[in-house]
Structure 1
Amino acid sequence: MAFLRRFFANINIFPVGSSYRLKVPLPSLGECWFTVDSSQDVTSFLQEIKQEDPHIFEINSNGTGKLFKEAVQQEITLSINNTEYRLKKTVLSQSNESKPISDSFIETLENTKITSKSQLKEHIHRNLTELGEQFGYYLKALENSERQINNQIKDIKEKEQQIARKIEFKSNFLCGMFLSVLSIQWGFFYYTIYEVDWLGWDLMEPITFSVGQLGFIISLRYYLKTQASTSYENVMGHYKDKERRMFLKQHGVNVGKIKFLEEEKNRITSLKEVIKKRQNLVS
């Protein structure tokens, strides 16, 4: 079946923070963006692609068994349903960010045999065109990653707000229920004392005393356990904080991830500024 194997255009690999972004053509879904972590291996990346499109019956790569970041340092190919693609790092990812564009062109010219002025013009035009296309793809990759990060941050904050509203409702409900039970208790006690002849102080006073002592013991135990102040604000604050931690863990909401996502977003923003400046140089 080797005669059915075809080669398409290169797939550009864009470094984004601590990961890589690349757009892979899939049989039934068309071009789809994928994010590959620097610690991810090529095998797991191939599995991720196969799970994305059910029409993939064969997928392999010459980088199987290696970490993705190691494989991209060499020439790596990707075969999907007997169609091969070459994964290629962008010019920007291959060079140092502080390196001037002119130096990259000079190095390329030194390694290229040029015998006429027309060849020189053609070579420069081809390199500028390729560089401009890569900058455009890179900006799209960065903007796509930025949107994903914003969606993740928004999702975490929305879940956090939902949990906060749930805790607020629960705490208000418990307070209202406690006051209602207390009022009903005292109302029932006084009603039985004054309205029911055979239930007088001799029976109800020990019960009232026991309820009061039980409430005192529960309050004292709570204070010794939490060391929270006896003020209403501190008690409720401690309760809400405890409930918040429990609900965040229960629903799998990692609020601390927001800081990491914000840092990734800042790095992407910086990269976008670098790309736009370089894009202006070659335009």
Structure 2
Amino acid sequence: MPLVEHLRELRNRLVKGVLAIILATVVAWIFYDEILTFLTGPYDEIRPDLAERGIESTAVLTGIGGAFTFQLKISLVAGILASSPIWLWQIWAFVLPALHRNEKRWALLLTATGAPLFVAGAALAYVVLPKAFLVLIGFVPSGFENLVTGAEYFDFVVRMMLVFGVAAEIPLVVVMLNRLGVVSARQLAEARAWTIIGIFVFAAVATPSTDPLTMLFLAVPMTLLYAIAEVIARLTDRRRDRKAPDIGDDEISPLD
């Protein structure tokens, strides 16, 4: 295909992806109340517990256009997520013809594995959010009222879900590096202690909250996923060793 045809196809793919995002954003705008109820669920869940401690916490929207900006931001993010199968497919369809058959198979396998892992990580973050809110807002001293702005709350929720989702991709990255021959199962085992320390440091730095409970909710699953990836790498190395030809030194042909 000539360069002009490639550029024309790229333009068509981009237009389709952008239209999908716009349409999904419009739909998200229509169902804004339901989406907002889902997002504020973890916060509403802990408000009775905070009231028992004598802490008054209220979610507020500041500024004249704060409510409009907040709704637009939520609708846009929800639209991008909802339309992700479409615009991701447009990207994939543009790149697909340039890949070999083996590369296509591995790309499909990585995509089919990476998407569920990311969703599982984001779902875990949603489950952890009430605990994080309860711990952090629980530091409010008596006599003070806690005001949570909509923008701050939304950014916190999105960051938590993104961090947990990306962290869930660790076993996929480790397995991919092992398949490419960059690291072996033996090297992974030797670096296990330092890797676990690095995981806990990453969890402490990456999580928006500063409480140790949230850090553990992220670090422990990451450690387990790393252990699973190490087992998969060990099985891969064994299968690779069985397929390797057993040639003695006296059987190797000379360079000339």
Q: What's the TM-score once normalised by structure 2's chain length? A: 0.25
Question: As a proportion of its length, which structure holds more strand?
Answer: 1
Bigger relative contact order (CA 8 A; separation at least 6): 2
**Whose helix fraction is larger, Structure 1's or Structure 2's?**
2
Larger Rg: 1
